[in-house]
Each structure stands twice: as C-alpha cells, then as structure tokens.
Amino acid sequence: MPSTIPSYIQMFVAMIAVGTLLIFSFNSYAATLRFIPETEQLDNLLNYVAAKATELIASTQTGTVTQFYLDLPTGIGNQQYWIRLQNNTDQSWVMGGFGTDWNITSSYEVSLPGNSIATGYLLSVYEPVVLKSWVDGSVRQLFLISLRNLN
C-alpha cells in the first residue's frame, strides 16, 4: 500500500485511467451488439424487397403496368437506410446500406432473377414505397420510388 501522498495520487490517476478504459470498452462492445441485429434487419428488408420484385416480375404481362405498395420501416434502430435497384448487362439486384449516401457501393446486395432492368432508389421514408413493373419489348422493367416522389 502506498504510504505517501504522491503515491496515493498516482494510484488514484491509475484507477481513473483503468476505469475510463473499461467504460470505453463496454461502450464499444454495446455498439457492436446493437450493430449486428441492425445489419440483419437490413438484410431481411432487402430480401423482402427482392421477393416482392421477383413476384412482380413473374406476374407482369406484356402491355400492363403492375405495382406493389411496400410498407417499409422509417429506420432501422436509430439509423436511416437507403435501398437502390441496380443492374448491369448480366443481372439486376437490390442493394442497401446505412446512412444517406446511396452512391457508395454496398456489401448488402440481393440478386434478382432473370434479365430485367431495375432502377430507382429511396432513403428511409415515412410513406409507402411503390415498386412498379412493366414489359418493354422483351425486357422487364422494375422501378422503385417513394409515393411522395411518384407524382
């Protein structure tokens, strides 16, 4: 045990440093535990949109426009999210991420079946989302937009 006043002060400062490290470690661990379910919820949401898009692609006939209204959550946890439909020459997919910058590439992607052109994006919104599909020639088109931006 310390017997002089400087030794007591040194021990007190060391205890404060250890306590601070423990608090920051527990906060980091709690943030990690919150992030895991949020990424699972985003993945489930993307799978839901992809399932509805697949159903819409399968049910759309030539000369008709088919649409679904999707009720999506306004946020995941306390974070905003974005969803975007995208395609290249070989395939199309649904992608999403957290935040408001939808121009970044995402590791959260779900492929869509068949040859279709998929466009549209949205940030987490407070109104229903419209998923539209139509056939243009022999190519199926998909479009995702919030109801507010549809008009």
* pTM reported for the whole predicted model: 0.74
Query: Which residues span the domain enclosing 44?
Result: 5-150
Q: In residues, how long is the chain?
A: 151
Total structural domains within the chain? 1
pLDDT at 151 over 70: no
100-116: average pLDDT: 76
| Distance in angstroms (rounded) separating the CA atoms of residues 129 and 136 | 22
pLDDT at 20 over 80: yes
CB atoms within 10 A of CB 105: 7
Q: Dump pLDDT digits (tens) for 35-65.
A: 778 888 899 999 999 999 888 888 887 778 8
Q: Dump pLDDT digits (tens) for 71-107.
A: 888 888 888 888 989 888 888 889 998 887 766 666 7
What pLDDT score does 65 carry?
86
What pLDDT score does 149 carry?
62
Q: SS3 of 82, please?
A: strand
User: What own/partner pairs with CB < 8 Å and gap ≥ 24 does 47-55 have?
Assistant: 47/110, 49/83, 49/94, 49/110, 49/131, 49/144, 50/93, 50/94, 50/110, 50/111, 50/112, 52/131, 53/85, 53/94, 53/112, 53/118, 53/131, 53/133, 53/142, 54/112, 54/113
pLDDT at 2 over 60: no
Output the CA angle 73-75-76, nearest 5 degrees: 100
